[in-house]
């Protein structure tokens, strides 16, 4: 998976299409990610004490990495990530500006 924690990503389809957010967690086994402010779902939280009201909180849910595009930290454009191997080291690069990201 080319997207890592801390990356800026842009959603390319679905309800959040066009929105950007920072990746908070990645789940490579499921090819899913969680990003700040994206794919927010409402969740009812039961009251902790009797007589108090339950709360409605919004939490970021994991979504498929296939609807997210990496935003290059160098050129600021959504781009695909590529890899370059040099001296047995693997670098992730932006396919647009070719800089290491």
Q: Tell which residue, 63, 70, 65, 44, has the closest CA to residue 55.
A: 44
Quick check: 22 binds Zn ion (CB under 5 A)?
A: no
Nearer to Zn ion, 69 or 72 (CB): 72
Nearer to Zn ion, 62 or 92 (CB): 92
First to last CA, the chain: 14
Is residue 77 within 8 A of residue 71, CB to CB? The reply is yes
Q: Quick one: which segment of 12-20, 46-54, 55-63, 71-79 binds Zn ion (CB under 5 A)?
A: 71-79
Nearer to Zn ion, 43 or 84 (CB): 84
Quick check: 4 binds Zn ion (CB under 5 A)?
A: no
Quote the tokens at residue 69: 């595009």
Which residues are paired to 59 by β-bridges? 41
List interacting residues with Zn ion (CB under 5 A). Answer: 72, 74-75, 94, 96-97
């Amino acid at each position: 998976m080319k997207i890592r924690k801390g990356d800026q990503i842009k959603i390319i389809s679905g309800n959040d299409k066009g929105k950007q957010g920072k990746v908070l967690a990645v789940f490579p086994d499921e090819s899913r990610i969680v990003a700040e402010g994206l794919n927010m779902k409402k969740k009812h939280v039961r009251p902790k004490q009797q007589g108090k009201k339950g709360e409605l909180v919004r939490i970021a849910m994991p979504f498929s990495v296939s609807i997210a595009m990496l935003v290059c930290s160098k050129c600021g454009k959504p781009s695909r990530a590529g890899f370059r191997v040099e001296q047995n080291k693997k670098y992730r690069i932006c396919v647009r500006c070719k800089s290491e990201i």
